[in-house]
Amino acid sequence: MDIRQPTDLELKKVLALSPEAVFDGTLGEVKPTDEKIDQLVKPLLSKGSHYLIAVEGDKIMGWILLGESKDQFTDKFNGFIYELFVIKEFRGNGISKQLMKAAIEHLKQYGHTEVRLSAFAGNKAIKLYEEMGFNVRTVTMSLPL
């Protein structure tokens, strides 16, 4: 398996599968359109965020979208992981962990001293994040009306 930045054709494949990634990551609460993915991802890419993909031969097995975000209170920029996804048939093989390690290393090389991410409560990936040393920093709460 290789972890690297995608070619233009591979990026198109990732973007085409991103609605499924968001659907899974939000535990089925959000099913975005391709247009919504464009609205969410293209501004990130234009500001320097990028994908790393896990590939075996010509098969994309998963990806991670990394970049930076500005802390609203301190105005400090931190590394940020916006999306992590492994295609169902490749899950359970440690690909998520390898993508996370690669992303963290990239963010460290860019000079970031902290990496943040957000996850829906109940997402199975939270266990991985905790195993890798991530701690709960903020909690967003919701009250359905």
Q: What is the pLDDT of residues 67-109, one digit of tens each?
A: 999 998 999 999 999 999 999 999 999 999 999 999 999 999 9
Domain count, the chain: 1
Give CA–CA dist 103/63, Å, rounded. 10
For residue 67, give the CATH number of its domain: 3.40.630.30
In a domain, 93, yes or no: yes
Could you read off the pLDDT of 40-72 as tens digits, one per residue?
A: 999 999 999 999 999 999 999 999 999 999 998
Q: Which domain holds residue 28?
A: 2-131
Give CA–CA dist 17/37, Å, rounded. 10
Residue 137 makes CB contacts below 8 A (sequence gap 6+) with: 116
> Percent of the chain beyond pLDDT 90?
77
Say whether pLDDT at 127 is over 90.
Answer: yes
In a domain, 137, yes or no: no
pLDDT for the residue 97: 97
Model confidence, pTM: 0.91
